[in-house]
Amino acid sequence: MKQKKLDPIRFLALIMLILNVYNIHSFKTEAVQRTEEHLVNMMKTDLKIFEDWLFDYVDNVDLIKSQLNQLTLSEVNYTVTENKHLAYNFSSEFVHETYIGFLDGQFTSNTNWIPSEGYDPRERSWFKDALEKNRTLISNIYVDQISNHSVIAISTPLYVQDKLVGVLSTDLYLEDLTTKLLTNRSSDNFESLAINDQGIILANTSAPSQINKKIDDLFMILFDSARENPGYNTEIIDDRDLYVYYFSDKLNCFLSAKVDLSLYTNRFSFWVHSQTIVNLLFWILFMGVLFYIHILNERIIETTTSLEEKNTSLKVINTQLETANNLLAYRAIHDGLTGLHNRFAFDDLLDELISKGFQEQKYVGLILFDVDDFKVYNDVYGHVQGDAALSLLANEIAHFCDQALMVARYGGEEFAIIYYDQDIETLESISKGLLEHIRSLKIPHKLSDYGYISISGGVNAVIPDLTTSRGMFIHQADTALYRAKAKGKNQFARTY
């Protein structure tokens, strides 16, 4: 018997030992993981800043494009060089050329460069790609004829007076891209690069000589992975190099950053002796306490089990009773079909307000109305459809009159809305708005004079005195309702 009692303790001892070993292993990697997470966040931030910087040029090109669209073609193409409409400040530390190639082969720019004889912008890749894809994009790398540097162009189809006239473009030098990546790094140990959608390196902080060359197999794998997995991706290669990379849909290019983890932490350390000792002492103490608790628990379990079972049964019964009581209380004052308050709740509140209004000398208001020709509606469409129509109307009335003290189903197709401290002019305005709202629903009623369900009602508001009674007050509103019916329905009448 003692052996059986000790079995759970031995089992827990084994569990605690496993947890202890796991805890030691977790502790030894915790610092490494925190370092990796910190480095990943830093590199993400660097890449995001670079992406935003580059995308700012795209936004600015689109801004110039929208401004040029307001001009005439002669204004845009008024000069070949130093075009004032293209002299836009990109708020950058780098100098850029902005230019337009027209559909007829003409060319204008913000510089003093004059195209050589035979130069045709329509043969340039930036011109062809922008027209072919019909959007703002970053072109493939080409050699700028002004500076003889390798550049990319941010190009977009240009419209003047909403008519396509050519391509607007601005240049970015590849060395400027690399310079921006270098100055943007949070750490000198980070290596960053940018690759266009053709797999050509646009910028590389670790190997500038690789710019304008095809990426190698490793980056081709990461490139393909980034296309398939949107957002930031992280990967550790050779248990040392940590990569953060993603494909920017905005720029249609691949951005990546790398860091050598060995510069920051020793990933191969395993035993942290001080932590091992602390863990062992903790679990030994824990096991002693656990064994003592186990002895005490054995003595208590038998006496508490039966009480717990009884308490559980009582809780279930109490919950059922509480649910039943709540349901009965709700049904006592609510209409089962529409969910609105019922006649009993209406009568109680009206009695209370008449007394209160007499004491405070404030108005008690009532809007009483019913659905026109509803008996005919039920005869034609059936009672199921009739109930559905009443439920829909009740929901619309409750939402429209959400400032009322109560919206009630008075009986059958008749509804009542109670207001307090509102004079009859205000209630008359509310009733007109409600009437228009119900008309706007246009619930079909083919035997109605109007072709859709309508309502008619009476509006009453009084400051109660000693002679005011609920029955009289309702009768006055009901009399106004019948006057509205007599006048042709689909309207409200106020009491005299």
Tens digit of pLDDT for each residue in 216-227? 877 888 888 888
C-alpha 248/C-alpha 48 separation (Å) is 10
pLDDT at residue 385 above 70? yes
Q: What is the pTM of this model?
A: 0.49
Tell me, rounded to whole angstroms, the distance of Cα 177 from its chain centroid. 34
Same domain for 267 and 308, yes or no, is no
Name the residue with higher pLDDT: 54 or 432.
432
Reported confidence tier of residue 283, pLDDT bands at 50, 70, 90: low
107 bridge partner residues: 101
Task: Tally the domains of the chain.
Answer: 3
Q: Which residues contact 248 (CB under 8 A, 6 or more apart)?
A: 51, 254, 255
Domain that holds residue 304: 289-333
Is 284 contained in some domain? no
Separation in Å, CA 242 to CA 32, 40, 184, 232, 256: 12, 8, 19, 13, 11
Q: Which residues contact 255 (CB under 8 A, 6 or more apart)?
A: 47, 50, 51, 192, 193, 194, 195, 245, 246, 247, 248
Alpha helices in 334-456 (DSSP H): 343-360, 374-381, 383-400, 424-441
Is 120 contained in some domain? yes
C-alpha 13/C-alpha 290 separation (Å) is 10
Same domain for 315 and 258, yes or no, is no
Same domain for 396 and 474, yes or no, is yes
Is 401 contained in some domain? yes
Averaged pLDDT for residues 460-477: 94
Same domain for 233 and 382, yes or no, is no
Averaged pLDDT for residues 93-106: 83
The CATH number given to whatever domain includes residue 214 is: 3.30.450.20
Same domain for 314 and 462, yes or no, is no
Is 283 contained in some domain? no
Q: Which residues contact 311 (CB under 8 A, 6 or more apart)?
A: none
Same domain for 358 and 301, yes or no, is no
Same domain for 429 and 484, yes or no, is yes
370 bridge partner residues: 414, 456
